[in-house]
Amino acid sequence: MNGWFRYFALNAQVRAGFSRGIVVWALLAAIFGIIAGGFFLAAIFIWLADQYDPVTAGLVLGFLFLVLTLIALLACLLTRRRNIEQARTELAARSSAGPSLLDPRILATGFQIGQAIGWRKLASLGVVAMLALVLAREWQGGQTEQPEDEDTST
C-alpha cells in the first residue's frame, strides 16, 4: 500500500508542486509581507505627521522587508518547480520500470485466470507458492553467509 500512497503523492506534486518547503517559504513570504505592510503604514503615518526624517527610516525598513518578501516568493516558486520536476522524474522512472502487480490490466488478467482455474484451486496454489518462497528464502539465506575478513597484513 505504501507504493500506492507514494504514487498518489507524486501525482499531486506534479499537479501542484506542493511540499513542506513550499509551506515554509510561503509562511516566510506572508510574515515578511505583513511586516513590510506595517512599516509602509508606519512610514506613511510618520510622513503625514512629520514630513522628513522619520519617513526615510520607515521607507528604508519597508523596502528591506519588501525585498525579503520578494526573495521568499522567488524561493517558493523555485522550490515548487523543483518539486514538480522531481515528481515527474520519479513517475517516469516508475512507468518505465514496468507494470506493477496492481496494474489494472494485470489485475484483470489475474481475475480472468482465477475464474478459469477456480478460486479454491488458485488459493491453494497461492499458499503452496508462498510456502515454497519462504522455504527458498530460508534455504538461500543459510548459503549466502559472508566469510569473515581475513587479515592480509602478513
Amino acid (1-letter code) at residue 110: G
Distances (CA, A) of 7 to 17, 63, 92, 101: 14, 43, 11, 14
Distances (CA, A) of 153 to 147, 148, 149, 150: 18, 15, 12, 9
pLDDT at 126: 80
Within the chain, strands assigned E span none
What is the spatial distance between Cα 135 and Cα 124, in angstroms, rounded to a whole number? 17
| In the chain, domain spans | 1-98, 101-143
Task: Identify the segments of the chain with pLDDT beneath 70.
Answer: 1-2, 48-49, 51-53, 57, 61, 97-103, 141-154
pLDDT at 30: 93
pLDDT at 22: 81
- Helices assigned H by DSSP within 97-149: 104-117, 119-143
pLDDT at 72: 92
Residue 54 burial (C-beta neighbours within 10 Å; 0-12, 13-18, 19+):
middle
